[in-house]
Amino acid sequence: MCVIFYQTKEQALFTYNEILNASLTNPHGMGLMWNDGVSIKFKKGYFNVKDFFDDYVKIKNDPNTKELALHFRIGTGSNIDVANCHPFPITSVNKRLKASKGSCDVGVMMNGIIGASTKEFSDTAIYVRDVLKKYYDTDRRFFLNFNKRTEMLFENEIHGCRFVLMSKEGTRLFGIGWSDYEGKAWVSNRYWIPKKPVKKNTFNWYDYNYASKDSYDSYDDWYVRRASKRFAKSKDDSRHKSYIDKLMESVV
């Protein structure tokens, strides 16, 4: 599963370690798109975290940058290469879809699976070229001009995938699953966030049996489970009587 970070100008920078972890959990290429107030700029096809982080910091700190989005990819069948990294400009020209950098009117990033892919083109690239281009030809700011009904139809069409559509006039996030990450960004999922280590308590028979007065009921349950392994339940087994005796003792 890919992940997208969407940030506005005033939000704080991600740390190198946060970017590193997102790339380790989504290792098939990274990309950036940002609004400089004139058009949407994009760079994609990063496979080196340091290079990506350095460019990210430079772009984020640029006074002309209004907002930006970061994408970390996991491939779903298409080639792991520059061309299939996100973002994509809305276009029907294959060469433009594959471009590693440039500017465009509307940029697109996606998290999820939106359809079939080929080795040459990912499902996102195909969806942008064959579907979103038709929306765009009808209304270049369709995603900003949705009414309640058309937005619901679009959400149903993308089947729970998460999209960022960015233009110089504004950006929209679509799909279920977006959440705020520490005030730094809206993120499309949280699977990339490291889990805090949990200290496992070692079992101590004395402490469990005698020291914890509140554990009487749970101790009985534990004893019955252990007893069921130590003594036979079958009437044909010579240990059956002793098993019943032990159960009775635990009740008494």
Whether residue 205 is predicted with pLDDT greater than 90 in this model: the reply is no
pLDDT tens-place string over residues 167-180: 999 999 999 999 99
- Once rounded to an integer, what is the mean pLDDT over residues 35-41? 97
Question: How many domains, in total, are found in the chain?
Answer: 2
Are 231 and 127 in the same domain? no
User: Band of the pLDDT at 231, cuts 50, 70, 90?
Assistant: very low
Are 177 and 209 in the same domain? no
pTM: 0.78
User: Is there a contact between 129 and 91 (Cβ–Cβ < 8 Å)?
Assistant: yes
How many angstroms separate the CA atoms of 170 and 140, rounded? 12
pLDDT at res. 24: 95
The H or E element containing residue 8 is strand 3-8
Are 51 and 161 in the same domain? yes
- Once rounded to an integer, what is the mean pLDDT over residues 147-171? 96
pLDDT at res. 221: 45
Cis peptide bond upstream of 87, omega within 30: yes
pLDDT tens-place string over residues 79-90: 999 999 999 999
Q: SS3 for 84?
A: coil
Are 173 and 220 in the same domain? no
